[in-house]
Amino acid sequence: MNGILKVIDGIIAAINGIINAIEGIINSINGIINAIKGIINEINGIVNAINGIINAINCIFNATNELVNPTNGIFNSINRIIDSINGIVKARNDINNSIYGIVNVICGLNIFSKNT
């Protein structure tokens, strides 16, 4: 009778091991999905930053067009050029931050894959 109980305990332990393994696989898949979502978010950040640069360049063109008016237009244009340059710098920083974010996600995937 003791032998039968030990066999049953062994079967239960094996089933629990299988369940734990399946949970680990599901957690790994969820981790990969979350990492992919992070990469997509960072790519969206880069796209937004590029759009910011395009808007800033358009603003510079608009500002240079206003230079035709030699009175208030000159001062407005200078201010817009400064704002546009600041926008380009901000967009560049956004791109850098997005690239760092992608690198961090990839590093996280590497660490995650080594641990699983």
Range of the domain at 104: 33-115
Which amino acid appears at position 14 of this protein? Answer: A
Structure tokens at 22: 């399946």
Residue 21 domain flag: no
Structure tokens at 102: 């992608």
Question: Can you give the pLDDT at residue 70?
Answer: 67
Residue 79 domain flag: yes
91 vs 50: CA distance, rounded Å: 7
Residue 103 domain flag: yes
Residue 10 domain flag: no
4 vs 10: CA distance, rounded Å: 10
Total number of domains constituting the chain: 1
Which amino acid appears at position 80 of this protein? Answer: R
Residue 11 domain flag: no
17 vs 23: CA distance, rounded Å: 10
Task: State which H helix or E strand residue 91 sits in.
Answer: helix 72-115
Find out whether 23 and 96 touch, Cβ atoms under 8 Å: no
Which amino acid appears at position 108 of this protein? Answer: G
Residue 52 domain flag: yes
Which amino acid appears at position 17 of this protein? Answer: G
Residue 109 domain flag: yes
Q: What is the pLDDT along the chain (116 residues), one digit of tens a residue?
A: 788 888 898 899 999 989 999 998 998 898 889 888 988 888 888 888 888 889 888 988 887 776 666 667 678 888 888 988 888 888 888 888 888 888 888 887 666 666 65
Residue 105 domain flag: yes
